[in-house]
Amino acid sequence: MHRHDPASGESQAYDAAQPVGAIALCEHGGLMLAVRDGFGRLDFETGRVRLLAEVEADRPDQRMNDGRCDRRGRFWAGTMALDHRAGAGALYRLDPDLSVTRVLGGVTISNGIDWTDDGRRMYYVDTGAGSIDMFDVEPESGAIANRRTFARIAPADGAPDGLVLDADGCVWVALWGGGAVRRYACDGSIERTIRLPVTYPTACAFGGPDLGDLYITTAAIGLSEAGRAREPQAGGVFRCRPGPRGRPPHRFRG
């Protein structure tokens, strides 16, 4: 994990000893992590990571991927097979009491996830499905139902990866292989596209004092040696001021 202060330019790195798919802030300090073997917590003071709940730890061919906390302080994150096998992954939810619930199965690459302000609608990406889907959510229990397609991404435009909602309720999604981030209006129409000088954007998140900075992570892993030479910024983190602003992130309450 990398921690960066844009104001001072200072950065720190923390070693989790295994792959990290997602992070979330904790209400009482530190970070929650979705690591290869399950859910863990990073203590900033000691730099140590402690595994709190195992998820598919008996399956070395799997790892956890993207995730986010909902407004009730629950941390949701999903899994995927290392060889990207169709339907091998699942979506899980870690509650504040550290109990783990398997919410959705048959997932290929569990990816971006976020909720509307009232917590009653969830947007979710299984990259293998090539779409952003919606679920109805029962806020108290976290149960999901009524899956339907919010927006479908044509293969020529890339594959949907990480996503985030802004303060207007619009959906921003990174397009892996598409060299862009899109903003979808609430009706599922494309509202705008931000082009990047790299092929593989992976996720986007709002930050800055006014939550008006959009940070975009990217990857270089999908590029050949010649591709890396053409895209020297691949794997970097980008920042832009798109106009719309984000929302404060929810924190894990456990």
Instruction: Give the residue numbers annotated as catalytic, written as ranges.
Output: 161
Position of tokens 């149960």?
143
| Contact criterion met (CB below 8 Å) for 63 and 80 | yes
Angstrom distance (rounded) from CA 206 to CA 56: 31
| In contact, 162 and 177? CB cutoff 8 Å | no
Distances (CA, A) of 139 to 44, 115, 123: 31, 10, 14
Residue 172: both structure tokens together? 């921003």
End-to-end CA distance of the chain: 21
